[in-house]
Chain A
Amino acid sequence: MTNIQHVQVDLSTALGKLQLPAPVLTASGCAGYGRELDSYFDITSIGAIVTKSIMMEPRSGRATPRMAETPSGMINSIGLQGSGIESFIEHDLAWLRKRGARTIVSIAGNNVLEFGRLARRLRGVEGVAGLEINISCPNVANRGLVFACNPGSAAEVVAEVRKHAQPGLPLLAKLSPDVTDIVEIAHSVIDAGADGLAMINTLLGMVIDPVTLRPQLGGRTGGLSGPAIRPVAVRAVYQVHAALPQVPILGMGGIRSGRDALEFLAAGASAVSVGTAIFNDPSAPLRIQNELRDELASRGFSRLRDVIGIAHQA
């Protein structure tokens, strides 16, 4: 293992037009706006911070309890708590820009028009490397019936964002695994103007409190995340990459180690996001990035790009 440290591995990658010097990003909703995690690792050393999803107006989120631990994972019903786009731009994005962190801003709207308004508000704002269009949060009023569950409504949101966003700004559509055919949804959002895909969001789930025999979360249902969902995520990335090999994928879902990240790259992801693992280990994104470098080096890869989609080779 000692030799591995000295092997140079080119970790640079790209999500379409978005060039990334490093392949590990944070997952939206698991890293706040980067500030807290900067105490545990240098947030400029990873690929990018993907912010918690931003809405137009301040939002309280749901009542507690908002989470329950599940085997190798957790279920949450936070409900997109946030202080709204104006506060985000003034305080959080300004801080990220000053800190020098690459930032992908995740946006979430209650309706199609709100997505467009968010994209328009971020037009010309400095420090935005790209947008993640969160059409798949399960913690919204219409619960499991999120935009990403229907190819038509998913495409409608993406087209609206494309129309209003800064021309040329990379757009990633965040997909839900809770669909019959994720490839069909992927096709529709790419046709509507997305440059790439972020996948997967959480799976809709429920925990019943064994004492009260009622749903344990304040929001009743919630989003399941963590290593428990990793095989679902790897499968989704693999299927979409097989059907759309030219479309860049930001892969995520239960990544906890460099080896987990390698699985996603092999399945077809060009970069990965670390989410729930941050709750277990606040320095996880950089740790996983370093572990990934070692995993690649130990297998004789000198460039990360050479492993992307390798699982599809005969």
Chain B
Amino acid sequence: MTQFRARLAGNRAVGEYRHLVFVTSADIGMVKPGHFAAVAVGGPDSAMLLRRAFSIHRVSSKANVGTTIELIVSAKGAGTRWLTSQHEGVLVDMVAPLGKPFQLPKERVPCVLVAGGYGAAPMITLAEELRSRGCRVDVVLGASTESKLYGVLDLKRISDSIVITTDDGSLGVRGRVSDVLPEVMQRADSAVVYACGPMGMLQAVSLVAASTGAIAQCAVEESMACGVGVCMTCVLPVIGDDGRTRMVRACTEGPVFRGDRVRWDAIGSVPADAVGAPPAGGH
């Protein structure tokens, strides 16, 4: 991970999101699908102290340009509204790449990519990576409505098949990704499910994967203050190799977790059997 200044070089609307392109001369090392960036918002004297974390959409390097980092941002709070309203040339402080990325299969197994809304941001480079390894790639994209879908055309181009769902039926199948996922997985004989989106979606996807024996790799979205592992705010209950549940940091141990290791029902609480859980009455 590297802390660096990046210049905003592009800012355009994509549906209800903004596609931001940053350029830096810093050497940020190897970036893999699932890595994220933590961006300081509001300028150097900002009253908004906490970094905003975004899954990295794409990174590329050119000798005479530098490294470009692309993010898909949903302007849903004060920090993201500031970020998405900036003009080209503005410098931002960024830390990247952060977190543990998606693990790629060693063999050519069929994979299915599931994303909700802007959770599709890391999926395009992931699909490219899997295809370059010879894996079959099926895609299920979902959102509440058509304008909140991301990456439909890109993923259509790269994948072997794609199914779209929207809650309101404005595009594709009316319903949720988990409604169509079992059929997609059965048809493709999927061995690995890669998912990125809201917690409820990840839980549903993990259940589908478990029922078919496939491995689910879920990139979670947790509220973070620092993104670098020191604030301890982004924790969720995860079962370790020893079978015990611990409150682990999404920023350093994640954001990608195996779906069968996350205690989805207990998110927002501390399970009573977690290591160091409080006695009745709390601590």
Q: How far is the CA of A69 from the CA of B229 in the complex (A)?
A: 17
Smallest CB gap from A282: residue in B: B228
A37 within 8 A of B: yes
Top-7 shortest CB links A-B: A58-B276, A279-B226, A36-B229, A59-B276, A60-B276, A67-B233, A66-B233
Contact B47 A64 (CB under 8 A): no
Do A78 and B48 have beta carbons less than 8 Å apart?
no
Among A110, A140, A218, which residue has its beta carbon within 8 angstroms of that of B268?
A: A218
Q: Which residues of chain B come closer than 8 Å to A73, judged between CB atoms?
A: 49
Q: How far is the CA of A218 from the CA of B246 in the complex (A)?
A: 17
| Bound-state Cα–Cα, A64 to B274, Å | 14
Q: Say whether B93 contacts A281, CB under 8 Å.
A: yes
Residues of A15-66 contacting chain B, CB below 8 A: 29-32, 36-37, 39-40, 52, 57-66
A125–B46 Cα distance when bound, in Å, is: 42
CB pairs A–B below 8 angstroms (24 shown): A36-B252, A39-B1, A40-B228, A59-B278, A60-B270, A61-B276, A63-B270, A64-B235, A66-B232, A69-B49, A69-B79, A218-B269, A227-B47, A278-B230, A279-B49, A279-B225, A279-B226, A279-B230, A280-B50, A280-B51, A281-B3, A282-B3, A282-B226, A283-B3
Q: How far is the CA of A83 from the CA of B267 in the complex (A)?
A: 20
Assuming the contacts A36-B228, A140-B283, asked whether A61 and B1 have C-beta atoms less than 8 A apart, the reply is no
| Main secondary structure on A side of the interface with B | loop
CB of A72 within 8 A of CB of B47, answer yes
CB-based contact B275/A64 at 8 Å: no
Chain B's closest residue to A219 (CB) is B282
Q: Knowing A74-B225, A279-B49 are in contact, say whether A67-B231 is a contact too (CB < 8 A).
A: yes
Query: At the interface, yes or no: B210 with Cβ under 8 Å from chain A?
Result: no
Q: A72-B47, A83-B276, A282-B3 are in contact. List 6 more A-B contacts (CB 8 A).
A: A58-B275, A61-B247, A73-B49, A82-B276, A279-B49, A281-B93
B260 at the interface (CB under 8 A from A): no
- Asked whether A226 is an interface residue with its Cβ less than 8 Å from the other chain, the reply is yes
Q: Which of B76-129 contact A (CB under 8 A)?
A: 79, 93, 95
Q: Which residues, 222 to 276 on B, are CB-close (under 8 Å) to A?
A: 222-223, 225-226, 228-236, 246-247, 252, 267-270, 274-276
A157 CB-CB contact with B under 8 Å = no
Least CB distance, A111 to chain B, in whole angstroms: 12
Taking the complex as formed, is A81 at the interface, i.e. its CB lies under 8 A from any CB of chain B?
Answer: yes
Q: In whole angstroms, what is the CA distance A264 to B93 when docked?
A: 27
- Complex Cα distance A272/B204, Å? 48
User: Using a Cβ–Cβ cut-off of 8 Å, how many residues does chain A contribute to the interface with B?
Assistant: 47
A contact residues around B3 at 8 Å (CB): 40, 281-283
Residues of B with C-beta under 8 A to A78: 231-233
A193 lies within 8 A of chain B by Cβ: no
> Nearest Cβ distance between residue A82 and chain B, in whole angstroms?
8
Chain B residues with CB under 8 Å of chain A are 1, 3, 40, 46-51, 79, 93, 95, 222-223, 225-226, 228-236, 246-247, 252, 267-270, 274-278, 281-283
- Min CB–CB distance A290 → chain B (angstroms): 15
Q: Which residue of A lies closest to B42 (CB)?
A: A280
A145 to chain B, nearest CB (A): 14
Given known contacts A71-B47, A81-B247, is B230 in contact with A36 (CB within 8 Å)? yes
Flag if B230 contacts A30 (CB, 8 Å): yes
Any B CB within 8 A of the CB of A201? no
Query: With an 8 A cutoff between CB atoms, is A141 at the interface?
Result: yes
Residue from the set A40, A60, A281 with the largest chain B CB neighbour count within 10 Å: A60
A282-B225 contact in complex given A81-B247, A84-B276, C-beta closer than 8 Å? no
A278, B233: Cα distance in complex, Å: 14
| Residues of A with C-beta under 8 A to B230 | 30-32, 36-37, 278-279, 282
Question: Do B51 and A57 touch (CB < 8 A)?
Answer: no
Query: Cα distance A63–B223 when bound, in Å?
Result: 13
Whether a CB of chain B sits under 8 angstroms from the CB of A151 is no
Q: A76-B233, A280-B51 are in contact. Are A64 and B223 (CB under 8 A)?
A: yes
Is B232 in contact with A278, judged by CB distance below 8 angstroms?
no
Whole-angstrom distance between the Cβ of A90 and the nearest chain B Cβ: 16
Select one of A76, A80, A282 contacting B95, CB under 8 A.
A282
Known contacts A31-B230, A279-B226, A282-B226: A61-B49 contact under CB 8 Å: no
A118 to chain B, nearest CB (A): 16
B50 touches A59 (CB 8 A): no
Complex alpha-carbon distance, A283 and B46, angstroms? 17
For residue B228, which residues in chain A have a CB less than 8 angstroms away from its CB?
A: 36-37, 39-40, 282
Q: Which residues on the B side are within 8 Å of A52 (C-beta)?
A: 232
- Chain A residue contacts of B234, Cβ below 8 A: 64
Given the known interface contacts A61-B232, A61-B270, A279-B231, the answer about A67 and B47 at a Cβ–Cβ threshold of 8 Å is no
> Which residue of chain A lies nearest to B245 when distances are taken between CB atoms in the complex?
A60
